[in-house]
Amino acid sequence: MNEYRSLDEGEVTRLAEDALLGAFGVPVRLSQIERISREDRRNLVLRAKAHFGRDVRAVIIKATRLASYCATSATAFIDSGLVTEWTAREVLKQADANVHSPLLAGDARNGIIVFDDLGAQLPSLVKSLLEGTALQAEADLAAYAFAMARLHVATVGCLQDHQKALASAFPHATAPGLLAADWLEQPLPELAGQSLPSEELDAIRRRLANPGPWLALVHADGCPDNVLLDAGKARLIDFEFSAPGHMLLDAVYWRVGFPSCWCAGMVPDEVANRIERVYRDEVVKALPVAAHEQAFVLEMTTVIVARTVFSLHWMLNDALAVDSVWGTATRRSRILWYLQVAINACERAGAFPKLSATLVIWLSHLHQEWPASESLPNYPAFRNFTT
């Protein structure tokens, strides 16, 4: 487990000023420094005002606290979320996706990046889903889907651009493989005497390893608290898990209940369908195949099943022993929903019949084993939702 190093805020500020000087060629003074990260987090995050002569802009300074951080390590990309974020933001800066805060400067040796501050006053998607109305939550989810689509449109086929961005700042780092290509390598234990059919899992694994036209930069942690809302538009933050991969790894989030997030919940199918349409209408501008219903639904199903199996890998064994609460939901409630949404997707696409049949058996078995557990409920915003 990584230990965290102590960082002096004054020294980090000075290094950030030096990085901005190197990037812009003019002296920059940082003022009104405010720490916005908790003591137990892996990064020190500061909010500040950057003075470029008479010009002033709000910025965020992020410095890694990992004691093991090493910019010259071959495993820097795998080991450091800051390296991952730096690389993703550099790709996005070249792509001009306009859905994030641009990278302004960085200090690779010391593990520091500086980017524009979107604003302390902006609410996240969490507020809409947990406290808002169904109408507001749907509007904000649609903005979120549009932002993800813009991210993907701007970075279609970005593998070489990503490798170049990584090599530019971290020349010793080994470029990663495609995101999720190794998700299904380890087998799951049997449930109710049934194991998942290997031939259909192999087909899914091959698609993740070779997404074809669906390859783009994947955010990979599109949680509600990583989405800021600004006058009806969504801005994405925190790219610490981003890498090239199958773009629909992001687009299944509202179907699966935001699986990597503490703030989990269901979005009603009718709403999810409309959100999906917003996403497709934008993505089709760069990816004509997204207009074909059968092709799109099959790709979505492939990724939903992959996401379900991956979530089971790191959640099922513990949940079989004892239930526990993670954020807004229990782990068992999440698992029950993951299985159901994968079954629903297979039925919708008419795909992976053997796998679907096994998941039906697993779901029935777990309902019997966990009689007190219910499937993941709707987000509070949709609790009283009616069609």
Q: DSSP states of 264-288 as a string?
A: --B--HHHHHHHHHHHHHHHTTT-G
Whole-angstrom CA distances from 332 to 189, 190, 193 are 16, 17, 20
Domain endpoint, select from 116, 141, 170: 116
Amino acid sitting at position 170 = F
Strand partners, 106: 113
Kindly give the confidence (pLDDT) of every residue in the chain, 387 residues in length, as a single tens digit, with 9 standing for 90 and above: 459 999 999 999 999 999 999 999 999 999 999 999 999 999 999 999 999 988 999 999 999 999 999 999 999 999 999 999 999 999 998 776 679 988 999 999 999 999 999 998 999 999 999 999 999 999 999 999 999 999 999 999 999 999 999 999 999 999 999 999 999 998 898 999 999 999 999 999 999 999 999 999 999 999 999 999 999 999 999 999 999 999 999 999 999 999 999 999 999 999 999 999 999 999 999 999 999 999 999 999 999 999 999 999 999 999 999 999 999 999 999 999 999 999 999 999 999 999 999 999 999 999 999 999 999 999 999 998 876
Note whether 190 and 164 are same-domain residues.
Answer: yes
204 assigned to some structural domain: yes
Amino acid sitting at position 147 = A
Number of domains in the chain: 2
Note whether 171 and 290 are same-domain residues.
Answer: yes
User: Could you tell me if 218 and 179 are in contact, meaning their C-beta atoms sit under 8 angstroms apart?
Assistant: yes
User: Could you tell me if 341 and 335 are in contact, meaning their C-beta atoms sit under 8 angstroms apart?
Assistant: no
Note whether 108 and 129 are same-domain residues.
Answer: no
Whole-angstrom CA distances from 284 to 143, 207, 225, 251, 279 are 17, 20, 27, 13, 9
Note whether 236 and 90 are same-domain residues.
Answer: no
SS3 219: coil
Note whether 259 and 318 are same-domain residues.
Answer: yes
- State the pLDDT at residue 103: 94
DSSP secondary structure code for residue 4 in this structure: B
Note whether 371 and 272 are same-domain residues.
Answer: yes
DSSP secondary structure code for residue 382 in this structure: G
The pair of structure tokens assigned to 128 is: 């809409």
- State the pLDDT at residue 369: 98
109 assigned to some structural domain: yes
- State the pLDDT at residue 93: 86
Note whether 297 and 244 are same-domain residues.
Answer: yes
Note whether 206 and 324 are same-domain residues.
Answer: yes
Q: Which residue has the tokens 């993907």?
A: 152
Domain endpoint, select from 85, 116, 147: 116
User: Could you tell me if 320 and 333 are in contact, meaning their C-beta atoms sit under 8 angstroms apart?
Assistant: no
> What would the pLDDT profile of 263-274 be if each residue is shown by its tens digit?
999 999 999 999
- Residue 93: give the domain boundaries: 9-116
Domain endpoint, select from 93, 116, 139: 116
SS3 360: helix
Note whether 242 and 360 are same-domain residues.
Answer: yes
- State the pLDDT at residue 387: 64
39 assigned to some structural domain: yes
What DSSP element (H or E) covers 230? strand 227-230
337 assigned to some structural domain: yes
Note whether 214 and 269 are same-domain residues.
Answer: yes
Question: What is d(CA 105, CA 347) in angstroms, rounded to the nearest whole number?
Answer: 48
- State the pLDDT at residue 95: 73
CATH number at residue 74: 3.30.200.20
Whole-angstrom CA distances from 80 to 87, 141, 168, 232, 325 are 11, 30, 16, 33, 28
DSSP string, 283-310: HTTT-GGGG-HHHHHHHHHHHHHHHHHH
- State the pLDDT at residue 280: 98
2 assigned to some structural domain: no
User: Could you tell me if 76 and 83 are in contact, meaning their C-beta atoms sit under 8 angstroms apart?
Assistant: yes
Note whether 284 and 180 are same-domain residues.
Answer: yes
3 assigned to some structural domain: no
387 assigned to some structural domain: no
Note whether 63 and 196 are same-domain residues.
Answer: no
User: Could you tell me if 70 and 133 are in contact, meaning their C-beta atoms sit under 8 angstroms apart?
Assistant: no
1 assigned to some structural domain: no
CATH number at residue 250: 3.90.1200
User: Could you tell me if 260 and 266 are in contact, meaning their C-beta atoms sit under 8 angstroms apart?
Assistant: no
Phi, psi of 362 (to 5 degrees): -60, -45
